Each structure stands twice: as C-alpha cells, then as structure tokens.
Amino acid sequence: MILFVPGYDPATEANLAIAVRLVESHLAILREGATREALLRALDRPGDPLFAMAHGRSGRLLAQGGKTALSHTDMAAFADRSIFAFACHTAAELGRAAAQAGGAWWGYTGAITSPDVSEKLLPLLTEVFAYLLGIFAISGSTAARRAVLIQLKERCQSVESRIDDLLESDPDLDAGTAYLCLLHLWDRLRIWEERSDEPLQHPEARPPLLFPAG
C-alpha cells in the first residue's frame, strides 16, 4: 500500500494527523516528501494500491505545496490498481480517466471537509479512515463496494453518536468540523469501477453543493 499525504496548510496538516496513525507497514510518502516525483517512483511498483489524502481538483491530485501530483494524463499507471483519494473533486475527471484505464478510483465529488484534529475527536475520525484504508483495495466487486458504502455510512453515524455523548459531558466542545467531515466521507464518495461509465454512490447520497474545480 502506498500512503501519500502532503502537509503544508491547515487542511493537509489535519490529513497528516490521521495519516501518521495509519502508516504501519505501508510505503508512506508524507509531508515534504510527498512530491509528484516520489509518487511516480512508488507507482512503478505494479498493482500497489494508493491511499491519498490531499487537496484535489477535478483533473488533478495535488502534492506538497499545491503542485500537481497526478493528472488525467497519468492514468495509464492505474490499470489494475485501486486508488482512494480523500481530496476534493477527484471523482470527476480523475475518476473517469482511471476507470477508463482499467483502475478502480474511490474519490470525492464537490468539496469535502478535512478531519477535526482536536484531542477528543481525532481518535474517533481515525477509526473511520482506518476502516477505509483496510477495506477499499480488497473490495474488488460491485457488490463488495456497495457494501462498503453502506457500512461506511453506518460507521460514520456511529461515530456521530459517540460525539453526541462527548458533547453532553463537554458542551464547549466544537464538533462542527467533525460532523461535516463524517457526512462528506460517505455522502460525497464516488467509486469509479474498472471500465465503468458511471460511479457508484451510497443510495442516499446527494448531489454536491459546489461545482467541480479545475
């Protein structure tokens, strides 16, 4: 597994706070090392899944400093590969291009909210990302991917309930960012399957509020 997570502004630093808890035995490309060149070298390993947390545009995944990490012209590297991109707008051009190349792209439509990294909420959000990291690459059929979409919403709602409990004991806790992140995690996730024309989504998912960014 390739774990690609730049860190150069509040949103990407929040992603990093999750990522450093997930590295384990994965090939971790983090912080200043999260460059296009480093990612392309890692993608020379055929078939390795990619889990990325970064800024995104409809046609680009961004690297350290906002530079381009991947564009639709790089999608030949994703034949027979699974990719999860927790990044805004990456279910648009990138998802379609990866699918056409024979890969499976799990990305997001519209804008998404970065994780909350406060002491009480970070562990709860990390649980959801750990689930996604462990499940996306081994979910190789339409049925399995639809099951993940259902399970993901249930897990997010379970974490929301636990946050509700925290708020009862600590009413000053600001959980707005965490709630939005949990909603976006399942509601805006789109899965482009190999050679597909349309992505999978949760049956209760809604259209994004914002138009894709270029």
Q: Are strands 60-62 and 82-86 parallel, antiparallel or unpaired?
A: unpaired
Give the confidence band of 28 by pLDDT, cuts at 50, 70, 90.
very high
pLDDT at 210 over 80: no
pLDDT at 212 over 70: no
The pLDDT, as a whole number, for residue 101 is: 93
pLDDT at 25 over 80: no
**Encoding tokens for residue 21?**
């808890």
The pLDDT, as a whole number, for residue 214 is: 44
Find out whether 10 and 26 touch, Cβ atoms under 8 Å: no
**Encoding tokens for residue 211?**
């138009």
C-alpha–C-alpha distance, residues 155 and 177, integer Å: 17
Using one digit for the tens of pLDDT, what is the confidence trace for 138-195? 999 999 999 999 999 999 999 999 999 999 998 889 999 999 999 999 999 999 999 9
The pLDDT, as a whole number, for residue 208 is: 67
What is the rounded average pLDDT of the residues 30-45?
95
What is the rounded average pLDDT of the residues 103-129?
95
The mean pLDDT of the chain is 93
What is the rounded average pLDDT of the residues 81-91?
96
pLDDT at 1 over 90: yes
Cβ neighbours of 112 (radius 10 Å): 23
The pLDDT, as a whole number, for residue 172 is: 86
Give the confidence band of 83 by pLDDT, cuts at 50, 70, 90.
very high
C-alpha–C-alpha distance, residues 93 and 8, integer Å: 25
- Alpha helix segments (H runs only) across the chain: 10-19, 36-42, 93-100, 122-135, 142-169, 176-187
Find out whether 188 and 204 touch, Cβ atoms under 8 Å: no
As a whole-number percent, the residues of the chain with pLDDT over 70 amount to 96
Element holding 71 (H helix, E strand): strand 68-71
C-alpha–C-alpha distance, residues 74 and 107, integer Å: 16
The pLDDT, as a whole number, for residue 26 is: 82
C-alpha–C-alpha distance, residues 15 and 200, integer Å: 24
pLDDT at 133 over 70: yes
SS (H, E, C) 153-199: HHHHHHHHHHHHHHHHHCCCCCCHHHHHHHHHHHHCEEEECCCCCCC
The pLDDT, as a whole number, for residue 211 is: 45
